Copies of this chain bind each other. A is one copy, B any other.
Amino acid sequence: MDLRLDGAALTAKLVDTPSVSGDEGPIADAIEGALRSLPHLTVHRDGNAVVARTVLGRPERVILAGHLDTVPVAGNLPSRVQGSRLYGCGTTDMKSGVAVQLRLAAALTAPRRDVTYIFYDCEEVAADRNGLLRLSRHRPELLAGDFAVLMEPSSAQIEGGCQGTLRAEVTVAGRRAHTARSWMGRNAIHEAGPVLDVLRGYVPREPEVDGLRYHEGLNAVGIRGGVAGNVVPDECAVTVNYRFAPDLTGEQAADYVRSMFSAWPVTVLDVADGARPGLRQPAAAEFVAAVGGTPRAKLGWTDVARFSAFGIPAVNYGPGISEIAHTAGEYVEIGKIAECESRLTAWLDGS
């Protein structure tokens, strides 16, 4: 893999090396090989994750991270340029970001801050397969740093932190009866009405956290109930998803959901903490100054939360477009690739 290719060409090369989650071997090999040829970097491999670091003894170390895998190919390979756009599987999410990482890794031989470039596998699948998580267990020392930039699609704007997400099941009980004598029972589906009333009456919090405005959400994402066509049902379960701003921990979020539905049994199914944007950290503040624009809050959950859990403030910043991620028609605006590279260069390059 030739890291002297321009950003768009390098993105195309990465896109044309398919790497659906679990099949990142070839792309990781190519990246590892290219990076090992650069004398200013020390390179490590863990499974299909590759880590390359400058070791210049700088007082600060920052991380640029991106995942190598994509969602399944959807008839959108090979890549193709059309006008100002590069189309293809992974163009937006997030091989254009990976291309920027690689170009910076090659170009910045003596950055102002030490830089750790992380390329990892299995971000698009179940959390327990996540390469960044595995790396944190196998080689925690490689994840040390003062600030991280996750190059997820953000339209070349800084998206700070991320909201947490919690799913819980609210269960409404009733009593079975034959529907021909329904007054002998208690209809759990009817009794779920007040659960929906809570959801309908919900007013989202929009707290400011470290200077960014978040926007929470509480939604039913599933409902099920019913025994048979002639039976008054004795149970109705509503699954809710709470997206919470990073001023709450997962436990606080669970308490909030329990308090909203205090009239019913609530079972928390899963929870992932959010991440505070941490934009007041010195490295982050300089990053914001160098990149420009007005940072906005990241509402969806990303691996910045994992960095946050490691104690490392992190932001999302990449050339892709989050709204079209995972679609067959995904593309990246070619101009954004160079824009991200030049902004990051301005931030990192002390030469």
Q: A residues within 8 Å of B by Cβ?
A: 163, 165, 167, 178-183, 187, 189-190, 192-193, 196-197, 199-200, 204, 215, 217, 219-233, 236, 238-239, 241, 243, 299-301
Contacts and interface: CB of A to CB of B under 8 A. Distances in A.
B239 A226 contact: yes
17 contacts: A163-B180, A165-B230, A181-B299, A182-B217, A182-B243, A189-B196, A190-B199, A190-B219, A190-B220, A193-B193, A193-B196, A193-B199, A221-B227, A221-B230, A221-B232, A222-B225, A222-B229
B179 A219 contact: yes
Nearest to A199: B190
Contacts of A196: 189-190, 192-193, 196
Nearest to A225: B223
A323 B217 CA distance: 47
A192 B165 CA distance: 24
A114 to B, nearest CB: 33
B189 A200 contact: no
B243 A239 contact: no
Contacts of A181: 215, 217, 299-300
| Chain A, interface SS category | mixed
B299 A180 contact: yes
Contacts of A219: 179, 182, 187, 189-190, 232
A191 to B, nearest CB: 8
A167 to B, nearest CB: 5
Nearest to A187: B219
A299 B241 CA distance: 41
Nearest to A178: B300
Q: How many copies of this chain does one complex carry?
A: 2
B223 A241 contact: no
A232 B239 CA distance: 11
Contacts of A189: 196, 199, 219-223, 238
Given A192-B196, A238-B189, A221 B228 contact: yes
A220 B225 contact: yes
A221 B239 CA distance: 19
B217 A229 contact: no
A210 to B, nearest CB: 18
A233 B239 CA distance: 11
Most B CB atoms within 10 A — which of A163, A223, A231, A233? Answer: A223
B221 A183 contact: no
Contacts of A217: 179-183
Which of A196, A225, A231 has most chain B Cβ within 10 Å? A196
A229 B241 contact: yes
Given A179-B243, A197-B193, A226 B232 contact: no
A132 to B, nearest CB: 20
Contact of A221 (B163, B199, B222, B231): B231
A178 B221 CA distance: 10
B236 A223 contact: yes
Contacts of A192: 196, 223
Contacts of A300: 178, 180-181
Nearest to A197: B193
A181 B241 CA distance: 12
Contacts of A226: 220-224, 239
A222 B230 contact: no
A220 B187 contact: yes
